[in-house]
A and B are shown apart, each in its own frame.
Chain A
Amino acid sequence: MALEAGATQAEAVVIDGHSALTRFANNELHQNVAEADTEVSLRYVDGQRIGVASSNRFDDAALRGLASSARAIARLQPEQDWFRSLPAPTPIHYAEGAWAEATATADPEVRANAAGAVIAAAEGVGAGAFGLVETGSATVSVVNSLGVDASEARSRAQVLTVMMGPGGGSGYAEHTAVDIETLDPSALGREAAQLTTASADPVELPAGTYPVVLDTYATMDIAMWLGLLGFNAQEVEEQQSFYEPGKVVASPLVSLTDDPTDREGTPASFDYEGVAKQRVPLLDAGACARLVHDSKSAARAGTVSTGHALPAPNPWGPMPTNLSMVAGDTPRAELIAGLERGLLVTRFHYTNVVKPKSVMVTGMTKDGLFLVEDGRVTAPVRNLRFTQGYLAALASVDAVSRERRASDGDGYLGTIVVPALRISAFEFTGATADI
């Protein structure tokens, strides 16, 4: 319809999805929702003018209206000198393990039973469980007038819980995967319950600089902020990133990749322009490696897209949505055993960037902060606020765990797979208080 309306090129992205989420709090289900929708987004190209319109209506009149709106928007704007063409077809090697039938067909009973398993673990230690069980699937299709024709079914399941128990103890566990059958709600419940018990009656420690072991949930936050602020080609062009090719910003033990084929995460084979997703090394043994591109940033930089476009229109630029940090060779237990005096951090809460170029971030510890002395956990510690340059933290990594975990990237960057890290200096700048 766009071509009939006069477009020189056109692209349609259709997402047909169904998702459901069961929430629990205070050991009972309290919100239980489901959603079905199909949305089409049309990119209408008129020479070097581009208009985007989207809708979830699919009748003939609505689709003609969509083409008409996109055309009108395109014709209202000046020519975009950077624009050369929509992407041409690229060979797509469809990733294995992007979709699981068990996730796509999970019903309210499946989710309620999973929540029930977590709740049972909380009740076993006299704690309250709060959290969610989510299942969802979508078929993402991208076609354009140059012959791009990509379609893939993807699914995602997540179990997450926060527990709160006697003595101010709290715990956390979360796992995200393509197949709900690979998630173990009982084990996640036990993990959170153990943290809840262990973190009760915390001692106070003064703010200051401590060596730390960051468990996977905390490491995820570092990877997320690096992904948001560091390796986006558009941000680099705009001088908003620390990135310089070859610049050493982290310990040689740290390597970070955007890996759409990592089956520990949630694989995806192409981006929202229908371009095959490449595996892109971002940090290679501590040194800045490559950037992610969409067709716009690639055109400006004179290179090709790496398959990291977000849905158009996208003023933020390309994003790495399959972050994967390379595992080390140290068992997690030995990370802690190697700490003479320091802190074990379960996760960070409500983090935000203070200084973008050094990726300085502030936030709170949560759901299990522990004092480690002579290689052993000796006491739970009241939560602390930190204000820390994440690049500086990565530069002082002295061990990386063998184990990794896939976590939800806090809603921003898909699923992130990371190990635990031991860091020789981490700055805590404040504590919580009684009122």
Chain B
Amino acid sequence: MTDVAARALDTAARFGATYADVRVVRRLQQGVDVKAGRVEGTSQSESEGFGVRALVDGAWGFASSGHMDAREADRVAGEAVRIARASGRYTHERVVLSDRPVARGRYETPLEEDPFAVPLDQTVELLLRAERAMAAVPGTTTTSAGYHAFREWKDFAATDGSRTEQVITHVGASLEVSAASDDDLQRRSYPESGGYRAGGYEHIRRLDLPGRAPGLAEEAVALLSAPVLPPGRRTIVLHPSQLYLQIHESCGHPTELDRVFGTEAAYAGTSFLTTDKLAEGFAYGSELVTITADATVAGGLGTFGWDDEGVVAQRVPLVSEGRLTGYLSSRETAPQIGRSSGGAMRADGWNRLPLIRMTNVNLEPREGMSLDDIVADTEDGLLLMSNRSWSIDDLRLNFQFGVELAREIRGGQLGQLYRNATYTGITPRFWGSCDAVADASSWELVGVTNCGKGQPGQAMHVGHGSSGARFRDVEVGVGNR
């Protein structure tokens, strides 16, 4: 344990905290962005600090600082206690924390090649090569490529004797190409959401950005002259490049137990998955739908050793064969439904309070049909790929998504390309219309680095695995009249 952490815990306890924990966090990030044949930006950032969470008379206080010395440890711990006392004046329900074993140990993201040891000029050259391959396709208007590496050293200590050390490493690289006319703009991107994984530079090499670049650019140009997807009700097959965000928005967020209890109502919203639905085994989707929150899956951005309350990483069923079976939870919220924490408390850096966040929320694959088999089994439908836009109401019921690319399916064959494809629905009806989930052969893990929640805002790294699925009688082409 660092001197600052020990000092802060001692001070918080001395000032009256019945429980306190401290995270000492150092972050290192590198980024390269190239566009139109030039380097737009190359950067490295480093940030270090500590945050103290103090519980006083059943109310929380949190304070943090980037100034790492003993005097500041005293000031910040004292401020956390003072804030807790101010909170207590307007707190009716006293916080009760669920038990957990004292946390001890070390976790490090497994990786083959340290991304911070790879000279940046190699990455610059790789990105420029891929970007030039897109720009060489006639009809493209903007081409760009990006790379980011992220490492966080996090030491956690609590007044109950818990001490953990973690080193988390995430890397990502991606391509984006646009084709524009006077009144329209079409975009293709690869991979989804910045191409992030937990791991090392080996992931960047496996992406084969230069190899994927020409085809991606050709699709963007083709989209610009493709017909607009007509409005109607259709069967849709969601590719993992879109399905990941459907899971994120319509299952991940509504199963966050703090949302269910209303504590995110002022920003992110609440949830239709109220706790009475847990007892009744609410029909969230069809019996093909099984969704888990798995903080142990290899390569996920939501994979770690312990959460930011010192709860060990675990695999929590959220929806089992269509029925609601669990929530993403914390030590404070889980006891309110008679359970122990599912280990989902995570903070975006030293200066943020841990909140209930997704880990890796995955749609489990089903034995039976591959994604290709599902397309072949579809008489009349659409294959929708790569997210372009998203919106969902505060209860997480009414959603609308747009995708980069849609292809008609006729008689089991892929055909006509459509642009500006959108679809909309109501969450449990939509998942209830799921009549096919693909097997593990097309399972992909997509990393999301911009999951927003909390005030002040926190952007969390989370993961979503899926293999593709089919949904019947879905409204498509919204806004295309």
| A130 CB contact (under 8 Å) in B266, B391, B424 | B266
Do A52 and B42 touch (CB < 8 A)? yes
Chain A residues, Cβ within 8 Å of B312: none
Question: Known contacts A162-B265, A354-B422: does B393 contact A432 (CB below 8 Å)?
Answer: yes
How far in angstroms is the closest Cβ of chain A from B351?
4
Majority-rule SS of A interface residues: strand
Cβ contacts A115-148/B at 8 Å (1 or 0 each): 1100100000000101110100000000000000
Among B31, B264, B400, chain A packs the most CB atoms within 10 A around the CB of B400
Contact A349 B43 (CB under 8 A): no
- The verdict on A355 contacting B420 (CB below 8 Å), with A36-B66, A115-B90, A362-B479 known, is yes
Contact of A313 with B42 in the complex, beta carbons under 8 Å: yes
Complex interface: chain B residues within 8 A of A34 (CB): 62-64, 79-80, 83
User: Chain B CB within 10 Å — which of A20, A53, A73 has the most?
Assistant: A73
Asked if A430 and B400 make an inter-chain contact with CB atoms under 8 angstroms apart, the answer reads yes
Chain B residue at minimal CB-CB distance from A360: B479
In the bound complex, do residue B119 and residue A350 qualify as a contact, i.e. CB atoms below 8 Å apart?
Answer: no
Interchain CA distance A112-B88 in the complex, whole Å:
10
Q: Which of A32, A70, A116 contacts B84 (CB 8 A)?
A: A32
Q: At the interface, yes or no: A210 with Cβ under 8 Å from chain B?
A: no
Interface status of B112 (Cβ within 8 A of chain A): no
Please determine whether A349 and B121 come into contact, CB atoms closer than 8 angstroms: no
For residue B276, CB closer than 8 A to chain A, the reply is no
Taking the complex as formed, is A429 at the interface, i.e. its CB lies under 8 A from any CB of chain B? Answer: yes
Render A16-41 as a binary contact track against B, CB cut-off 8 A, 1 for contact: 00011111111111111111111101
Give me the 10 closest cross-chain CB pairs, A-B, nearest first. Answer: A313-B41, A108-B86, A37-B66, A387-B479, A130-B265, A130-B266, A76-B121, A239-B180, A52-B43, A56-B66
Contact B391 A351 (CB under 8 A): yes
Query: Does B106 have its Cβ within 8 Å of any Cβ on chain A?
Result: no
- Which residues on the A side are within 8 Å of B263 (C-beta)? 23, 25-26, 30-31, 130
Among candidates B60, B121, B183, residue contacting A32 with C-beta atoms closer than 8 Å: B60
Interface flags, B246-274, vs A, CB<8A=1, else 0: 00000000000000011111100100100
Contacts known (A315-B35, A433-B426); A385 close to B400, Cβ less than 8 A: yes
Contact B79 A431 (CB under 8 A): no
Closest to B268 in A: A350
Q: List 9 A-B contacts (CB under 8 A).
A: A29-B90, A31-B62, A35-B63, A57-B46, A108-B83, A315-B33, A350-B393, A429-B424, A435-B397
Q: Tell me which residues across on chain A come within 8 A of B66, comparing CB atoms.
A: 36-39, 56
Verify if B137 is at the interface (C-beta below 8 Å from A): no
Q: Is the CB of A33 within 8 A of B272?
A: no
Q: Which residue of A lies closest to B456 (CB)?
A: A21
Question: Do residues B63 and A33 form an inter-chain contact, with CB atoms below 8 A?
Answer: yes
Q: Spot the interface stretch: A77-85, A93-101, A253-261, A331-339.
A: A77-85
User: Is A151 in contact with chain B by the CB < 8 A criterion?
Assistant: no
User: Is the pair B47, A55 in contact by a Cβ cutoff of 8 Å?
Assistant: yes
Q: Which residue of B is nearest A356, CB measured?
A: B185
Which residues of B sit under 8 angstroms from A13, Cβ to Cβ?
none
Which of A22, A76, A128, A431 sits near B120, CB closer than 8 Å?
A76
CB-nearest residue of chain B to A313? B41
B208 at the interface (CB under 8 A from A): no
Besides the known contacts A33-B63, A366-B393, A383-B393, 20 further A-B residue pairs in the complex with CB atoms under 8 A apart: A21-B455, A26-B261, A26-B262, A28-B92, A30-B263, A37-B49, A37-B351, A52-B42, A53-B44, A56-B48, A77-B121, A77-B124, A112-B89, A119-B90, A128-B265, A132-B266, A360-B479, A364-B398, A429-B424, A431-B398
Who on chain B is nearest to A431 by CB?
B398
Contacts of A430 in B (CB 8 A): 398, 400, 424, 475, 478
- The answer to the question of B474 belonging to the interface, with a C-beta cut-off of 8 Å to chain A, is no
* List of A residues within 8 angstroms of B84 by Cβ: 32
- A residues in contact with B185, CB < 8 Å: 239-240, 355-357
Considering only CB atoms, which chain B residue lies closest to A25 in the complex? B263
Does any Cβ of A come within 8 Å of B191's Cβ?
no
With a cutoff of 8 Å between Cβ atoms, the chain B residues found around residue A29 in the complex are: 59, 86-87, 89-91
> Do A429 and B478 contact each other (CB < 8 Å), given the known contacts A52-B41, A80-B38?
yes
Q: Does A248 interact with chain B (Cβ within 8 Å)?
A: no
- In the complex, the answer to whether A53 meets B90 with C-beta atoms within 8 Å is no
| A433 proximity list for chain B (CB < 8 A) | 397-398, 426, 429
Q: What class of interface size applies to chain B in its complex with A? A: 35 or more
Residues of the B chain whose Cβ atoms lie less than 8 Å from the Cβ of A130: 262-263, 265-266
A contacts, CB < 8 Å to B:
19-39, 41, 50-57, 69-70, 73-74, 76-78, 80-82, 108-109, 111-112, 115-116, 119, 128, 130-132, 134, 160-162, 164, 238-240, 312-315, 349-358, 360, 362-364, 366, 383, 385, 387, 411, 427, 429-433, 435
Q: Which of B64, B87, B120 contacts A112 (CB 8 A)?
A: B87
The answer to the question of B82 belonging to the interface, with a C-beta cut-off of 8 Å to chain A, is: yes
Interface residue? B389 (CB, 8 A): yes
Residue of B nearest to A207 (CB): B478
Partner pick for B391 among A27, A32, A358, A363, CB 8 A cutoff: A363
CB under 8 Å from chain A, chain B span 172-203? 178, 180, 182-185
| Chain A minimum-CB-distance residue to B452 | A411
Contact A313 B398 (CB under 8 A): no
- Check A352/B390 contact, CB under 8 A, given A53-B45, A238-B141, A313-B43: yes
Using known A-B contacts A54-B46, A57-B48, A115-B90, determine if residue A33 contacts B479 with beta carbons closer than 8 Å.
no
The minimal Cβ–Cβ distance linking A49 to chain B, given in whole angstroms, is: 9
Q: Which residues of B contact A115 (CB under 8 A)?
A: 90
A54 touches B424 (CB 8 A): no
User: Does the CB pair B391–A314 fall under 8 Å?
Assistant: no
Contact B39 A80 (CB under 8 A): yes
Tell which of B59, B182, B272, B420 touches A435, judged by Cβ atoms closer than 8 Å: B272
Minimum C-beta distance from B417 to chain A (A): 17
Given A53-B44, A73-B42: A164 touches B265 (CB 8 Å cut-off):
yes
